[in-house]
Amino acid sequence: MPLIQSKLDPVTAIHDEVLEPGLGWTHELARGQTLRIVDLEGNQAVDTLFYDLADPANRYSAVDTIRSQGNLYLTAGSVLVSSEGDALLTIVADTCGRHDTVGGACSAESNQMRYALDKRYMHNCRDSFLLALARYGRGMGKRDLTHNINFFMNVPVTPDGGLTFADGISAPGRYVELRAERDVLVLISNCPQLNNPCNAYDPTPVRLLVWDTLPAAS
Ligand SMILES: [Zn+2]
Tell me the per-residue pLDDT of 93-150, one tens digit each, with 9 for 90 and over. Answer: 999 999 999 999 999 888 888 888 888 888 999 999 999 999 999 999 999 999 999 9
Instruction: Output the CA 107–ligand 1 centroid distance in Å.
Output: 7
Q: Can you tell me the mean pLDDT for 159-172?
A: 83
Burial of 122 (0-12, 13-18, 19+ CB in 10 A): middle
Cα-Cα-Cα-Cα dihedral of 173, 136, 53, 81, to 10°?
50
Instruction: Output the CA 159–ligand 1 centroid distance in Å.
Output: 25
Q: Can you tell me the mean pLDDT for 85-100?
A: 96
Instruction: Output the CA 176–ligand 1 centroid distance in Å.
Output: 18
Instruction: Output the CA 108–ligand 1 centroid distance in Å.
Output: 10
Report the predicted TM-score, pTM, of the whole model to 2 decimal places. Answer: 0.93
Share above pLDDT 90 across residues of the chain, in percent, rounded to a whole number: 74
